[in-house]
Amino acid sequence: MTSSPALVWFRLDLRRNDNPALYHAYESGRPIIPLYILDKDEQMSDWPMGAASKLWLHHSLQSLNDSLNGNLVLRTGSAADIIPAIAAEYDVQDIYWNRCYEPWRLKRDKDLKATLKDDGRAVHSYNAGLMFEPWDTRKDDGTPYRVFTPFYKKACVERYGAPAEPLPAPTRLSYVSDIDRPAVDTLDLLPDIPWHKQIEPHWTPGEDGAQKRLDDFLENGLEQYKTGRDHPDRTNVSRLSPHLHFGEISPRDVWHRAATVKVAKGLETDTDCFHSELGWREFSYHLLYHFPTLPSKNFQTKFDQFPWRDSPDDLARWQKGQTGYPIVDAGMRELWQTGYMHNRVRMIVGSFLVKHLMLHWKHGEDWFWDTLLDADLANNSASWQWIAGSGADAAPYFRIFNPITQGTKFDPDGHYTRRYVPELKDLPNKYLFEPWAAPDHILAEAGVALGTDYPEPIIDHKAARQRALDGFSSL
């Protein structure tokens, strides 16, 4: 065994299982330096980490440190400076990391790799966060896909069949002992105002929490997933998105675990649908890699001429869940109270922002980036552009969700809406999603005074729909 240690740089791969960088460093036979850097250069990028992401990261790092027996090395500063300095101090000849795909991280990693190679050191990088590399899922002519279905069917399923099998977790790691290991608290990730106390009971960040969440979904949620996933009061969603974003579990692991249940329980339709949702995540990263301006510019440039409104008051009412449309308000309040929002409801609130209120999709993207625990640049930007109609394979501009019928269809018993809009809990189902239509005596019996207990609608649906259609037709 050589005495030269191996440095493993953790980023969005905060796990031991199916972690190629950690696995190959372990296989080298060297003691390791497991390093996480709160990179100040990233915090100065166009997309500094949001408050909810910092909260999750704090707990995820605590979990990772526990799994490494307290040996995680934490630093704050520039990775471009810290990694070469540690490599020089401890005579590190081999540096291992798993790839990231955000534009600024791609550039940073390329520059850092060149610096380390100039110093005579070897860099080993791997795919840990995706099932397939974005440069391996292009069309036969080398151009990137812009439509999901052929991307998933041809570039993923037909070309590869399935992602690679997950790698096992290293069994016995040895560590460099004479190195400073500050506590996670020193990164100062938790907010000064304890808003996070209402969010924390809903989640268990970390690799163990991710595996338990997957276990629960496969046992109780995968069956009837294809239809049940659209109903926010049901358990047919995985809620794995923050675990996947921070790399506490790999998409390869999720895919193969679901495939095993597919065979054991005969859940072909539900599992194929769930696998395709993992495919949508791949498609978002495919788009971000090949079109790095996706988070900031319309994918379809004709939308540059769209007549967006500027209304801080309307934006604030949307953010606070005070639009007067109960299913919209329920979703925005779920986000604020839990750091998460059901995917069907994300589509409803997104459509409402860009089409009913005609506020730029960037406002929604920014709000989700700061408040979602699963805030992910590829997923967030691709999804908001899809909702707006400006993105790749986007929803057609004339598809304007009716928040009344969406609530009635997907929350028919009102369990979800009443949970987050309790001021309407005694309103009959008939009027739950349009309380302004209820007769005065029904409102009185339910203890609801519109404009006092619950707001009047921010805008009439029919008028909003026509205004949006007029705006889109101008393109």
User: What token pair was written down for 63?
Assistant: 């979990």
Which is the catalytic residue, given 104, 133, 223, 280?
280
Q: Which run of H or E residues covers position 362?
A: helix 361-371
Which is the catalytic residue, given 255, 361, 367, 386?
361
First CA to last CA distance, the chain: 66
Residue 384 annotated to the active site: yes
Edge to edge, what strands does the sheet with 94-98 contain? Answer: 73-77, 32-39, 6-10, 94-98, 122-126
Query: If you ran DSSP here, which 8-state letter would residue 257 be given?
Result: H
Residue 386 annotated to the active site: no
Q: Of 98, 71, 50, 87, which Cα lies nearest the Cα of 373?
A: 50
Which is the catalytic residue, given 200, 223, 343, 436?
343
Residues 6+ apart with CB under 8 A from 461: 325, 356, 402, 403, 404
Helices (H), 221-267: 225-228, 241-245, 251-265
Which is the catalytic residue, given 56, 336, 367, 384?
384
Q: Which run of H or E residues covers position 120?
A: none
Please state whether 77 falls in left (phi above 0), alpha (psi between -120 and 50) or beta: left
Residue 282 annotated to the active site: no
User: What token pair was written down for 463?
Assistant: 């008028």
Residues, the chain: 475
Which residues lie across from 33 on neighbouring strands?
Answer: 7
Cα gap 329→192, rounded to integer Å: 27
Q: 404, 419 in Cβ contact below 8 A? A: no
Residue 361 annotated to the active site: yes
Residue 365 annotated to the active site: no
Query: If you ran DSSP here, which 8-state letter would residue 196 be given?
Result: G
Cα gap 255→147, rounded to integer Å: 22
Q: Which run of H or E residues covers position 418?
A: helix 415-420
Return the active site residues: 277, 280, 308, 343, 361, 384
